[in-house]
Amino acid sequence: MEKSPNEKLAIPRQELPEDEEPPSKQPSFIDEASLLDEYLKSRTDRDKSLISERSLAFMQEFFPEATLKDWNNWHWQIKNSARSIQQLSRYISLSDSEIKPDGNNHSLPLRITPYYISLLDRTNADQPLRKSVVPVFDEFIIHPGENADPLSEEHDSPVENIVHRYPDRVLFLVTGFCSTYCRYCTRTRMVATDKCHVGVKAWEAGINYIQNHKEIRDVLISGGDPLTMPDLHLEYLLSRLRSIQHVEIIRIGTKVPVVMPQRITRPLVNMLKKYHPLYLSIHFTHADEMTVEVKEACEKLANAGIPLGSQTVLLKGINNSVKVMKNLMHALLRARVKPYYIYQCDPVLGSGHFRTTIKEGLDIMEGLRGHTSGYAVPTYVVDAPGGGGKIPLLPDYNLGHAENGYVKLRNFENREFLYPDIS
């Protein structure tokens, strides 16, 4: 099993104790003192979290005053995020193309957590992770077909912050804030703008809408990134949604476990698990994001019974090859995250340098299906511009009708077979 370098090395750190009690009754044939000892030891081990050597070295170099406790505090991570090219240039040496974007126009502001900066290559501007979060001059170039709201979400919004496109489910945009902004974000129009301060009061219309539409059985909470909200706000929202009888499942779309794994604290996880069935769709881009910290964050969530799925945007020069995608899918499964979607990159303004052809996406699917575990194969979709919804795309394995009611199919090795399609 080939592990990404970031999965390998880790240094233990101390975390807040869990609010669990030791088992009260022990079987009489076991020495209680040694059992308690063993329990306390296992509890201490369980409460230890990890910091990679790489992140530790970064912290010591650039934040010499900070303690591990600071680094592992998600508020500290947000407070110390890089928010300008000048700030970012303290940590990495920027290329000409990366320096030019300062003074954005339509594009997203910059924000990257110290944790995620610690994963960036200091000199190589072509490093995949770096390309996904550091603005470049190409963002100023608008290509035909690009749009500020490529999926026409505002058109399908019956009340503020709700997108109701599919019959039985809604998208609930509860914040416009993210701890790190992805340069290809579909919701550039709303994240990090005035619209980002959605706030608890502004949810009321959305909650009432869901309450009044009995056909809604599935609510996807997204934004922005919902896990950047305080536990109290998140719990308020989850409890309101959970109290609606016809809401069967709640999903949260987030990139926080990847860009700020410090946010996945035990109190957060203990709160989330009260609202089952709750699913998490985690936005991953590349296997290099699967660090020991991220793996640990996924493990905490999975151990709380939260099914984890991944969403990955297909991006030129970042993950548009079978090898890179396969590595990512394998890393996800090792972290108990089921690969869910690969998205064709939406034609949002200034995203031309990220987009691949659909053929490239299909070639990647061809290189996955049959060549690795079925669990490692997500669905490749194009979100139809103009609000048509997700359209799944697959390489063509059905070669059409043959004689006598047979159908000609091909397998992953391109071998042809006749199937009797006769009932």
In one letter, which amino acid is 10? A
Between 373 and 402, how does the x/- string for binding to ligand SF4 read (CB under 6 A)?
Answer: ------------------------------
In one letter, which amino acid is 423? S
Contact 338, 302 (CB under 8 A): no
Closest approach, Cβ 149 to ligand SF4, in A, equals 13
Q: Is 380 a catalytic residue?
A: no
Should residue 295 be labelled a site residue for ligand SF4 when binding is judged by CB under 6 A?
no
Between 252 and 291, how does the x/- string for binding to ligand SF4 read (CB under 6 A)?
Answer: ---x---------------------------x--------
In one letter, which amino acid is 205? A
Lay out the sheet containing 406-410: strands in order across.
398-401, 406-410, 416-420
User: How many CB atoms neighbour CB 290 within 10 A?
Assistant: 24
Instruction: Output 56 or 113, the one with its CB closest to ligand SF4.
Output: 113
Backbone angles phi, psi at 241, to 5 degrees: -70, -40
Among 115, 131, 149, 178, which one carries the catalytic annotation?
178
Among 263, 346, 355, 380, which one carries the catalytic annotation?
346
Contact 417, 400 (CB under 8 A): no
Q: Is 165 a catalytic residue?
A: yes
Of 78, 85, 110, 185, the residue at the interface with ligand SF4 (CB under 6 A) is: 185
In 269-345, beta strands by DSSP E: 278-283, 308-314, 338-344
Backbone angles phi, psi at 120, to 5 degrees: -80, 145
Closest approach, Cβ 90 to ligand SF4, in A, equals 22
Instruction: Output 224 or 339, the one with its CB closest to ligand SF4.
Output: 224
Q: Rounded to an integer, what distance in angstroms lies between the CA atom of residue 286 and that of residue 312? A: 8
Among 79-87, 222-230, 331-339, 365-373, which window interacts with ligand SF4 (CB under 6 A)?
222-230
Q: Is 390 a catalytic residue?
A: yes
Should residue 111 be labelled a site residue for ligand SF4 when binding is judged by CB under 6 A?
no
Should residue 206 be labelled a site residue for ligand SF4 when binding is judged by CB under 6 A?
no
SS3 108: coil
Q: Is 43 a catalytic residue?
A: no
Residue of this chain nearest to ligand SF4 (CB atom): 185
Which run of H or of E encompasses 57? helix 53-62
Instruction: Tell which residue, 91, 178, 132, has the closest CA to residue 288.
Output: 132
Tell me: cis bond preceding 150? Omega within 30 of 0 counts: no
Instruction: Output 22 or 109, the one with its CB closest to ligand SF4.
Output: 109
Closest approach, Cβ 254 to ligand SF4, in A, equals 7
Q: Is 187 a catalytic residue?
A: yes
Instruction: Tell which residue, 97, 99, 96, 75, has the closest CA to residue 87.
Output: 99
Closest approach, Cβ 185 to ligand SF4, in A, equals 3
Tell me: cis bond preceding 253? Omega within 30 of 0 counts: no
The first and second tokens of residue 341, run together, are 């979607």
Should residue 238 be labelled a site residue for ligand SF4 when binding is judged by CB under 6 A?
no
Instruction: Tell which residue, 278, 343, 344, 288, has the closest CA to residue 310.
Output: 343
Contact 218, 249 (CB under 8 A): yes
Q: Is 336 a catalytic residue?
A: no
SS3 170: strand
Closest approach, Cβ 116 to ligand SF4, in A, equals 11
Backbone angles phi, psi at 248, to 5 degrees: -85, -50
Q: Rounded to an integer, what distance in angstroms lies between the CA atom of residue 359 and that of residue 365? A: 10
Should residue 182 be labelled a site residue for ligand SF4 when binding is judged by CB under 6 A?
yes
Among 184, 185, 189, 300, which one carries the catalytic annotation?
185
Among 166, 236, 340, 397, which one carries the catalytic annotation?
166
Closest approach, Cβ 397 to ligand SF4, in A, equals 32
Should residue 225 be labelled a site residue for ligand SF4 when binding is judged by CB under 6 A?
yes
Residue with tokens 């890179």: 324
Q: Using CB under 6 A, count the residues that bind ligand SF4.
A: 11
Should residue 181 be labelled a site residue for ligand SF4 when binding is judged by CB under 6 A?
yes
Q: Is 345 a catalytic residue?
A: no
Instruction: Output 225 or 288, the one with its CB closest to ligand SF4.
Output: 225
Of 162, 191, 216, 244, the residue at the interface with ligand SF4 (CB under 6 A) is: 191
Task: Using CB under 6 A, list all residues that contact ligand SF4.
Answer: 178, 181-182, 185, 187, 191, 223-225, 255, 283
Residues serving a catalytic function are 165-166, 169, 178, 182, 185, 187, 346, 383, 390
